[in-house]
């Protein structure tokens, strides 16, 4: 695959570089894989501010706008400037009092219990005002992009990718009255962890970089000052992708 891609790039006068050099010099970042690959590269490219073209090799590839058999055609379209940029918001997360850890998320920030931990109490604050209390396995804070991922699987709503909002969805809550909530993107969300055993609670951004949280610790999640730009073609529409890549694979 790499050799074929390099040959295609060379015929169009497009430089093919190793990853580190690519991040510094490239006009776009090409990812080949599934959504996880795009999420990984989105974090790597933040400081370089490069748009991402995702080529789908995964099962769903919801964020990808190019299939493998379209790669040569769509690379040629990019070289001609025939594409659009879809700007996506990010979340910024940190644990209060822990200066050595912070993270960004294109999809979601998750605070969840470890495998052997009992259900945990979580208090949710919006701009320092208590708005909900959950007892369950965890809490997902998702962007509109991430509303079709883990949050959706946990019963959260789908947000239009152009919506300026944040979804807070409980994971396996021990209550029939624990709905997901949607907040304006300017809001600051704090998740305070109740009593836990053996520090078996973790905070992660886009499924990676799990950071342990102690009892009483608070995760602060807010709108990042960074964005990610995804390359799209034609009249790309989120709900068309939902129909093609989610409903059709039930």
Closest alpha carbon to 192 in 216, 174, 167: 216
Q: Would you call 199 a catalytic residue per the annotation?
A: no
- Active-site option among 35, 86, 108, 137: 35
CA distance 27 to 14: 10
- Asked if residues 197 and 212 have their Cβ atoms less than 8 Å apart, the reply is no
Contact 142, 150 (CB under 8 A): yes
Residue 37 three-state SS: helix
**By C-alpha distance, which of 209, 202, 161, 206 is closest to 185?**
161
For residue 99 the two structure tokens come to 């200066």
Q: How far apart are CA 213 and CA 34, in angstroms?
A: 29
Check if the beta carbon of residue 87 is closer than 8 Å to that of residue 227: yes
What is the three-class DSSP state of 147? helix
Chain-centre distance for alpha carbon 202: 17
The first and second tokens of residue 70, run together, are 């379209």
Strand 218-232 with 84-95, pairing = antiparallel
Active site members: 35
């Amino acid at each position: 695959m790499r050799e074929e891609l390099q040959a295609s790039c060379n015929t169009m006068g497009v430089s093919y570089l190793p990853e580190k050099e690519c991040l510094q010099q490239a006009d776009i970042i090409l990812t080949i894989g599934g959504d996880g690959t795009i999420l990984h590269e989105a974090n790597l490219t933040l400081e370089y501010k490069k748009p991402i073209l995702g080529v789908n090799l995964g099962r769903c590839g919801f964020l990808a706008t190019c299939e493998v058999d379209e790669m040569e055609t769509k690379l040629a379209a990019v070289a001609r400037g025939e594409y659009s940029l879809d700007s996506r918001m990010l979340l910024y997360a940190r644990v209060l009092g822990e200066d050595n850890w912070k993270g960004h998320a294109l999809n979601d920030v998750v605070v969840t219990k470890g495998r052997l931990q009992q259900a945990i109490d979580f208090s949710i604050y919006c701009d320092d005002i208590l708005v909900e209390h959950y007892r369950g396995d965890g809490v997902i804070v998702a962007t509109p992009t991430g509303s079709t991922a883990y949050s959706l699987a946990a019963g959260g709503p789908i947000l239009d990718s152009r919506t300026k909002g944040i979804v807070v969805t409980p994971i396996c809550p021990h209550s029939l009255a624990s709905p997901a909530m949607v907040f304006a993107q300017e809001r600051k969300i704090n998740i305070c962890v109740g009593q836990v055993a053996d520090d078996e609670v973790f905070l992660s951004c886009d499924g990676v970089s799990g950071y342990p949280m102690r009892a009483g610790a608070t995760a602060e999640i807010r709108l990042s000052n960074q964005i990610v730009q995804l390359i799209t073609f034609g009249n790309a529409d989120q709900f068309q992708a939902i129909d093609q890549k989610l409903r059709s694979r039930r």
